[in-house]
Amino acid sequence: MAELILQPGKERAVMRRHPWIFEGAVAHLKGRARAGDTVDVLADNGRPLGRAAFSPHSQIRARMWSFDPEETIDHAFFKRRVAAAVAARAALPELREQQGLRLVHGESDGLPGVIADRYGDTLVLQLNSAGAEKWRDALADALLQASGCRRVFERSDADVRGLEGLEARTGPLRGEDRDGPDEIVIEEHGIRLAVDIRGGHKTGFYLDQRENRLLVRRLAAGRKVLNCFCYTGGFSLQALAGGAAQVLSIDSSGPALAGARRNLALNPQLDAARAEWRDADVFEELRALKKAGARFDLIVLDPPKFAPSAAHADRAARAYKDINLLGFRLLNPGGLLMSYSCSGGIGLELFQKIVAGAASDAGAEARILRRLSAAPDHPVALTFPEGEYLKGLLCQAV
């Protein structure tokens, strides 16, 4: 096995059990290793630190599989790790009955680059690192066994694969029903939702917002609601279920809005007359709504990732400031603004400063009622703060 020797002092992060080793932390590679191969990680003094997946094309040169230098990385290793991740979800009562559930959450489950989401009896697998790609078959087999699903469908098409030197992969992977339908209908908090596992965002849906959608339902009664970047209407349908007086949903994707209308049709118990779907650029439409004198009691801002890394933070901050400024200007006194960032390059402290600046520029006085995050099936390892990508604020205009 090849040995990855670290620069002096760079072993400290690994000893604190951070799973990433960046290119600049590496002194040299002793021996030969191809993309995805397991390497021994050593401090500059020769002290063994653990075993990692090597990635020669990425700035993250290696991702730690184990901090035990003696642990063998083989099929049995992945079987254990996957089983532990699935068992951790089963131990939480609020997750046991969920039809849409994340079973593996990458580094926070000790499986860097591995995402696995369950929709009903279908498991959708996304592999985003060279090491995960190397063990693709072992992971698929372990997930099929541990999850109890009938099939595994692969959605390894995230842009980050390009940074690992990997091509996109999409299609059936395992199971007796491997060629089943691309659309899976699940139920979330009493609302039926159609998930497109082949062409939908991420693995088909935004499971991380599950509990926040339920919060919107609890807050929506009698309110005029605006849902921006609505995708397939998850927040909108929960607002309707909660008794919203009116829900205006905006997205620039025609296919996403078609999916939202489809989801509304799957729920005949909801009053469709209270829902309006608008195909438009959100920034432009919010300016038009302000000009028209529109006002709302509850506004949801859940934009796409503006800053995939810290290098994009400045540009992203301007976009977040703009969208929140427009939101505060459309908010009635006493109204609620629920604002999110899923950008890894924007931390919670910076995000709060951006929202505070937007409120100030809008001439609005507001207070934070809650800080919001991903659902508990998206855990964050204490040693891996980068895993806390989704952050949100529930603000109230005073």
Residues carrying an active site annotation: 342
Angle CA 288–293–295, to nearest 5? 100
Q: Which of 279, 193, 300, 195 is nearest to 237 (CA)?
A: 193
Distances (CA, A) of 8 to 5, 17, 289: 9, 17, 57
Q: Residues 395, 337: contact at Cβ < 8 Å?
A: yes
| Residues 31, 62: Cα–Cα separation, whole Å | 15
Angle CA 73–115–164, to nearest 5? 70
Angle CA 155–201–111, to nearest 5? 50
- Orientation of helix 75-90 relative to helix 136-147, angle to 10°: 40
How many residues are present in the chain? 398
Contacts of 268 (CB under 8 A, 6+ apart): none
Distances (CA, A) of 83 to 101, 143, 273, 376, 381: 15, 8, 46, 17, 17
- HSE (CB half, 13 Å, CA atoms) of 258? 5
- Where b means 16+ CB within 10 Å and e means fewer, 9-29 reads ebbebbeeebbbbeeebbeeb
299: which strand partners? 226, 337
Round to the nearest angstrom and report the end-to-end CA distance of the chain: 62
- Torsion-angle region of residue 391: left (phi > 0), alpha (psi -120 to 50) or beta? beta
| Residues 165, 57: Cα–Cα separation, whole Å | 6
Distances (CA, A) of 240 to 217, 322, 340, 342: 7, 27, 21, 25
